[in-house]
Amino acid sequence: MPNTILLGTRKGTVILERKNSQWQPQPIMHEGIPVCYAARDPRDGTLWASLDHGHWGPKLSRSRDGGATWQDALSVKYPEGARHIVQYLPTPDFDPESPQGQPEYKNSTVYKIWNIAFGSSSQPGRLYAGTIPGGLFVSDDGGDSWELNRPLWNHESRGGDLFAGEATSRNQWGGTPASIDYGVFEPGIHSIVIDPRDSEHLYVAVSSAGVLETTDGGKSWASRNRGMLMDYLPDPQAEWGHDPHFVTACPGQPDHLWQQNHCGVFYSKDGAQTWKKVSVPEVGVHFGFPIAADAQDGRTAWVLPARADSERMTIDGGLFVARTTDGGQSWQSFRSGLPQNNAYDIVYRHGLDAAGDCVCFGSTTGNLYLSEDRGENWQCLGNNFPPVYSVRFS
Amino acid sequence: MITVAMTSHLYRFFPELESREITVPAGSVAEVLRAVNDFAPGFTDYVLDERGALRRHVLVAVNKTILVDRKTLTDRVPEDGMVYVFQALTGG
């Protein structure tokens, strides 16, 4: 059973420790600063937090003494010459042949460091950071320095190598509404999945583009969106334009991947070569943000269903967790211990985690719930946390 | 010499800048901020993005004038002038 839970919240980083069967929150760290993601590197115990300073820019913060002290890791920066194509929502009179229809370039800067992932034990010091506007950064020295992964940044689906000059293909990455807070409409990488069998094999998920895979350590990337369906574009099966909210894999069966998408829940049992929609709207399983996979059984996953993309509320005022143990063919809803009236909690994409028999989630209304029996019964660990952005066991 | 004053919120991250008069040689706003960064390494990462432009929610004034060039910070600071670094009032 895990003994620590890390929360990234609107007002800082919180560690809860389990002592004598009780979970106790420790004094908040990064007090007053939004922390969009916090996690512990399982290889060396280093704590990481992605700070979302309102005024002072995104920063990575690192603690090597269990949270007693933190230091900035300042070097997640787009290199000189990094550009991306500005994405606008076309107006009714938009003419793609007009000068306004031609690519407009922008010098890239980091808006948000949305996710941090840790390399395999065979690559000590390897870290990944996913950002808005859509760059994947890699470190091989424990976060002292970071480098933009250029093959992904220069991917033909983004217009090609804009370091070298003009776009050579059409940009097909859309923006994420999460970037609107920064006054832009840019794509973002929120999910990074590393194959525990092969450190050269990764997936990233981009809102709004889809899933990409590399099998050569990031030298080349290919779309992995076959079987995905969109209900907001004319071609629901288009290669690009998908809006994964979160993608994860079963560590024990890494070919089993799960995706909570804007347009439903999707499952792959062939390493994302194909996806299958496994939503069951009749039982409420369709829209939501996070998804968690079991550590051993690739067919088991948990979701936090919400009501419709246009409303983003609980379904009928009650909070529940749904679990499948058969690859999404059927879902069981669990409500014991969760509020069933007047609940307005939404759980963000990094706000749910599973470890062994434990499942935990934190909500936008500052509630934190834990199950120690695989999601069937829940206890509240606190009602007065700041809005929760991320929950990770460690 | 130019004097630099700033919001006290920055002292949380750069305590070495608190309780002292910060004076730097005359130059452009960019040069002034870089000189402060020499006192407090990392300072420019807080007020500027990686392109050297002022962050969206940061405001700089030279004497009583709000900075004109937020992108390359070429505004000249007069000898014996003041540079103020504020948080832009962008919240409620």
pLDDT in tens, A1-23: 899 999 999 999 999 999 998 99
pLDDT at residue A372 in the model? 97
pLDDT at residue A277 in the model? 98
pLDDT at residue A234 in the model? 86
Flag if B51 and A107 touch (Cβ within 8 Å).
Answer: yes
What's the residue count for chain B?
A: 92
Flag if B46 and A57 touch (Cβ within 8 Å).
Answer: yes
Query: Measured between alpha carbons, how far is A251 from A301 in angstroms, rounded to an integer?
Result: 12
What is the 3-state composition of chain A as percent helix, strand, coil, each rounded to the nearest 5? 5, 40, 55
Count structural domains, chain B: 1
pLDDT at residue B62 in the model? 96
Please, what is the average pLDDT of chain B? Answer: 93
Is A180 an interface residue toward B (CB < 8 Å)?
no
- Phi, psi (degrees; rounded to nearest 5) at A324: -115, 145
Chain B's closest residue to A51, CA to CA, is B46
Residue with the larger pLDDT of the pair A244 and A73 = A244
Whether A219 has a pLDDT exceeding 60, the answer reads: yes
In a domain, residue B18? The reply is yes
Q: From the list B46, B50, B91, which residue is nearest A110 (CB)?
A: B50
Beta bridge partner(s), residue A355: A358
Neighbouring C-beta atoms of residue A390, cutoff 10 Å: 27
DSSP B49-76: -TTSPBPTTEEEEETTEE-S-TTT--PE
Please, what is the average pLDDT of chain A? Answer: 95
How many percent of chain A have pLDDT more than 70? 97
Flag if B58 and A74 touch (Cβ within 8 Å).
Answer: no
A-B contacts at Cβ under 8 angstroms: 37
- Phi, psi (degrees; rounded to nearest 5) at A261: -110, 160
In a domain, residue B92? The reply is no
DSSP A10-54: TTEEEEEEEETTEEEEPPPBSTTS-EEEEEE-TTT--EEEEEEET
Range of the domain at B58: 2-87
A147-194 confidence digits (pLDDT tens): 999 999 999 999 999 999 999 999 999 998 888 888 788 999 999 999
Nearest one of A212, A64, A254 to A142, comparing CA atoms:
A64
Chain A's closest residue to B54, CA to CA, is A56
| pTM of the complete model beyond 0.90 | yes
> How far from A259 is each of A113, A203, A256, A270, A315, CA to CA, in Å?
21, 12, 10, 13, 20
Q: From the list B49, B56, B91, which residue is nearest A183 (CB)?
A: B56
Instruction: Find out whether A79 and A71 touch, Cβ atoms under 8 Å.
Output: no
Mean pLDDT of A309-332: 94
Query: Measured between alpha carbons, how far is B71 from B59 in angstroms, rounded to an integer?
Result: 12
H/E segment holding residue B33 = helix B29-39
A88-133 confidence digits (pLDDT tens): 766 677 676 776 677 889 999 999 999 999 999 899 999 999 999 9
Query: Which residues of chain A lie closer than 8 angstroms to B72, CB-CB?
Result: none
Query: Measured between alpha carbons, how far is B62 from B4 in angstroms, rounded to an integer?
Result: 9
| List of domains in chain A | 1-39+50-73 (no CATH), 224-387 (2.130.10.10)
In a domain, residue B53? The reply is yes
Nearest one of B38, B35, B37, B17 to B25, comparing CA atoms:
B35
Residue A360's contacts (CB-CB under 8 Å, 6 or more residues apart) are A5, A352, A353, A354, A368, A369, A370, A371, A381, A391, A393
- Phi, psi (degrees; rounded to nearest 5) at B47: -100, -20
Instruction: Find out whether A160 and A169 touch, Cβ atoms under 8 Å.
Output: yes
Flag if A109 and B87 touch (Cβ within 8 Å).
Answer: no
Is A107 an interface residue toward B (CB < 8 Å)?
yes
Query: Which residues of chain B lie closer than 8 angstroms to A54, CB-CB?
Result: 57, 90-91
In which band, very low, low, confident or very high, does the pLDDT at B91 lie, cut at 50, 70 and 90?
Answer: low
Instruction: Enter the ipTM.
Output: 0.91
- Phi, psi (degrees; rounded to nearest 5) at B8: -65, -15
Count of helix runs (H) and strand runs (E) in chain B: 2, 7
Minimum distance, in Å, between the CA of residue A205 and any CA atom of chain B? 25
In a domain, residue B43? The reply is yes
The encoded tokens of residue A17 equal 């420790």
Flag if A57 and B55 touch (Cβ within 8 Å).
Answer: yes
Mean pLDDT of A37-66: 96
Name residues 20-79 of chain B within 8 A of A (Cβ): 42, 45-47, 49-51, 53, 55-58
H/E segment holding residue A153 = helix A150-153
Backbone Cα Rg of chain A:
20
In a domain, residue B74? The reply is yes
CATH code: domain of residue B79: 3.10.20.30
Is A59 an interface residue toward B (CB < 8 Å)?
yes
